[in-house]
Structure 1
Amino acid sequence: MTGTVAVLGANGFIGCRTVELLHLSGWAEVRPIVRRPSAFASLSRFAIDGRVADAHDVPALTAALLGCQSVVHAVAGDTRTIVDAVEPVYRAAAAAGVVRLVYLSSASVHGQSPPPGTDETSALHDCQTVEYNNAKVRAERRLGELSRDGAIQVVVLRPGIVFGPRSSWTGGFANDLLDGSAYLVDGGHGICNSAYVDNVVHAIKLAIEVPEAAGRTYLVGDRERISWADLCRPIAEALGVDLAAISVSAPLSFTPNWTQWLRDGDLYQRLVRSLPKPVRSGLKVGYAEWRKSGLDQPPTAPKIRISEERALLHRCRVKLPSAKAERELGYQPVVGFEEACRRSVAWLTFAGYPTARSQVGER
């Protein structure tokens, strides 16, 4: 089963790469769907039948999905969007006659530092300290409830830390190194459940084409057992930074990230959406200027703020298994970790970061 594959959230990191690989390989006709026309900028170099539709707009989505055999749900956003986009996408896909929906969830449903023995059968709960995890759990639950009607075959993928060119785990970490805010808790010796983006796209293809995958959930990641230091070291070396210099100890307690709560909180969303559009625009500009001024942080705040999420990740002791995906989908990572790191650093050079390679090229 291939046919036309729609990719929702095609302007995002994983969605964009999915469109690129499916189109360039000729594996399937791909239809990127984004929320606004400007989001097609990075994909405009391809002659692709893209559509514009908001993930909450069932009629518009239904029209955009007509003729598609499969849908890849890679919509990103705040915690409210993660949960609220599930039902409209499912309803629209069913109305459009879509056969299979592949939902990009996250291994974070098991927590940033899962207990030993964790796999796809492990119980999920939505009272975790990281709200992103709770949102993904609720989204999976809602999708499970909806799919009981049998209208669409649903496959859920739970990739780990998805890195590679354009990823926040690559470019974002490089930015942190350059501005002095990067850190690794306890030297980053904890296990990183990495998933190079091309390996995730390979899993997506298998989830689309393997009949037996319908109704099932799969953890997917890289083959190698690596640490956070292993993931970060090639980037640090390329930028001339010693990883030992950014090792920190986690605090005994964590200060709530109120600005994140304000962005993701239901109260904030309800208040802002009730305001006229000009007022919302003015607030957005004012908030950006406030952030630039540094007034959202106490004058004595340290430059490095350790988050609970990162502390848990950097102290992880469990390598999550891809055994079920290997057994039922035939999943095997198509790019090894060493090559994935090489490609990531090459992209940093291409993107204009001051890597050792770029400096040699300037001489």
Structure 2
Amino acid sequence: MVVGATGQIGRAAVGVLARDGWEVTALSRRGGRDESWPDGVRVVRADREDDAALAAAVGDGCDVVVDVVAFGPRHARQLTSLAGRIGSAVVISSVSVYEDGQGRNFDTQHEPGGFPEYPVPLTEGQRTVRPGDTSYSTRKAALERELLAAGDRVPTTLLRAGAVHGPHCRTPRELYFVKRNLDGRRRRVLAFGGRSRFHPVSVHTVAELIRLAAARPGSRVLNAVDPDAPTVAEIARAIDAVMGRDVEDVLVDGPPPAPGVGDTPWTVPAPVVCGMAAAERELGYRPVTRYAETLPETVAWIEERLAGRDWREAYPKMVQAYGDLFDYAAEDAWLAARDV
């Protein structure tokens, strides 16, 4: 059973599992069905916040529960309460649970000097934030702790996902460059010399890891990222290539030079690059795709969503997360002053 089946990761996971021979139940709040799923997929409408509805969907039992929308200890306890009826679980976590040796993490990144400086590559042995209920990161850490503690009753593979990309994403970082290209912007400012690296992960990579973990139950945490971690400048040029655009990069050493200038959804002062050796060792994982290979479908999805709509209407969660990503007036003013 896949919980959160019609979300970005859930859609891909249902399809991969069904094609791999599993009998799949796709659970979501609206009970939708993706047109790419095989006919044998069973669709169930239920809210995972409703304990009774989730238990009813599990019924007499299932071999694996894949939970892509679990947050915090309550959801962990919801799953462990079904011990004896669930063979194992695969649950999506996040690389945001990591913190560096100075106690810096994603929750401190907006403080002066607060962005974490992780080792490269970042491995699963890196320390994590203290579990709690104060942020996305602390709730994910609490989720992990609860499920790992119950590993003898419900063996759970926790996948710490990087920056997820692909169709159906509600916060696609690629939007930043796609919309600029559609708007005919000929230059773009990139802070930190365009060298920022925030490790992406395709929905296809996550789905492959889910497929492998479903067949190899265990209590473990694994990174979930693509085989490559391109720089923000490389991402921009790859999107240009898909869209047939030629854009000049204006590279700035150091942080964004002005509000709304040079700051992209990938812009970070220090690299966030994860290793996949543990997934290779424990699951036999081998890469199924690379970042640039998935861009055509991602770009096409974003262009379709934007057609005839204001970007804020098409992607309201992007506004919540990043504010105004397209302050062209501020950028033009900075470029004009620079060119004098």
When the two structures are superposed, what TM-score results if normalisation uses the length of structure 2? 0.70
Out of 189, 198, 209, which is 2:195 matched to? Answer: 189
User: CA shift at 1:248, angstroms?
Assistant: 9.1
Q: Deviations 1:88-112 (Å, cap 9, x if unpaired)?
A: 2332x326x1101111001121145
Out of 244, 247, 257, which is 2:249 matched to? Answer: 244
1:208 matched to 2:214? The reply is yes
What is the correspondence of 1:107-256 to structure 2 with a 5 Å cutoff? 107-110=95-98, 111=105, 113-116=116-119, 118-126=122-130, 131-145=135-149, 147=150, 150-167=152-169, 168-169=171-172, 172-173=175-176, 177=180, 184-211=190-217, 214-236=218-240, 238=243, 240=245, 242=247, 244=249, 250=255
Name the amino acid aligned to 1:156: L
Out of 323, 327, 336, which is 2:281 matched to? Answer: 327
Residues 197/188 of structure 1: CA separation in 2 closer, same or farther (3 Å cut): farther
User: CA shift at 1:326, angstroms?
Assistant: 0.6
Q: Deviations 1:17-38 (Å, cap 9, x if unpaired)?
A: 2123333x2432211111234x
Q: Distance in 1 between matches of 2:22 and 2:66?
A: 13
Q: Can you give the 5+ residue segments of structure 1 that lack an aligned partner in the other structure?
A: 1-5, 253-300, 355-363
What is the correspondence of 1:1-363 to structure 2 with a 5 Å cutoff? 6-23=1-18, 25-37=19-31, 40=32, 42=34, 47=39, 48-66=41-59, 67-75=61-69, 81-91=71-81, 93-94=82-83, 97-110=85-98, 111=105, 113-116=116-119, 118-126=122-130, 131-145=135-149, 147=150, 150-167=152-169, 168-169=171-172, 172-173=175-176, 177=180, 184-211=190-217, 214-236=218-240, 238=243, 240=245, 242=247, 244=249, 250=255, 310=265, 314-348=268-302
Q: Distance in 2 between matches of 1:121 and 1:228?
A: 27
Q: Distance in 1 between matches of 2:253 and 2:247?
A: 13
Higher mean C-alpha deviation, range 231-240 or range 103-112: 231-240
Q: Percent identity?
A: 28
Higher mean C-alpha deviation, range 235-244 or range 185-194: 235-244
Residue pair 2:165, 2:203 contacting (<8 A) in 1 also: yes
Q: Distance in 2 between matches of 1:195 and 1:14?
A: 11
Q: Distance in 2 between matches of 1:243 and 1:207?
A: 43
Name the amino acid aligned to 1:116: P
Q: Distance in 1 between matches of 2:174 and 2:38?
A: 24
Q: Deviations 1:188-235 (Å, cap 9, x if unpaired)?
A: 312231212101110111111124xx1111112222242122233333
Q: Distance in 1 between matches of 2:292 and 2:262?
A: 30
Regions of 4+ moved over 6 Å: none
Residue pair 1:231, 1:341 contacting (<8 A) in 2 also: no
Q: Distance in 1 between matches of 2:297 and 2:30?
A: 30
Q: Can you give the 5+ residue segments of structure 2 that lack an aligned partner in the other structure?
A: 99-104, 107-115, 309-340
Residues 46/331 of structure 1: CA separation in 2 closer, same or farther (3 Å cut): closer
Residue pair 2:72, 2:141 contacting (<8 A) in 1 also: no
Name the amino acid aligned to 1:334: V
Match of 1:275 in 2: none
Residues 248/32 of structure 1: CA separation in 2 closer, same or farther (3 Å cut): farther
When the two structures are superposed, what TM-score results if normalisation uses the length of structure 1? 0.66
Q: Deviations 1:153-212 (Å, cap 9, x if unpaired)?
A: 1111112112122333356435653679x975325312231212101110111111124x
Q: Deviations 1:247-284 (Å, cap 9, x if unpaired)?
A: 796369xxxxxxxxxxxxxxxxxxxxxxxxxxxxxxxx
User: CA shift at 1:303, angstroms?
Assistant: 5.7
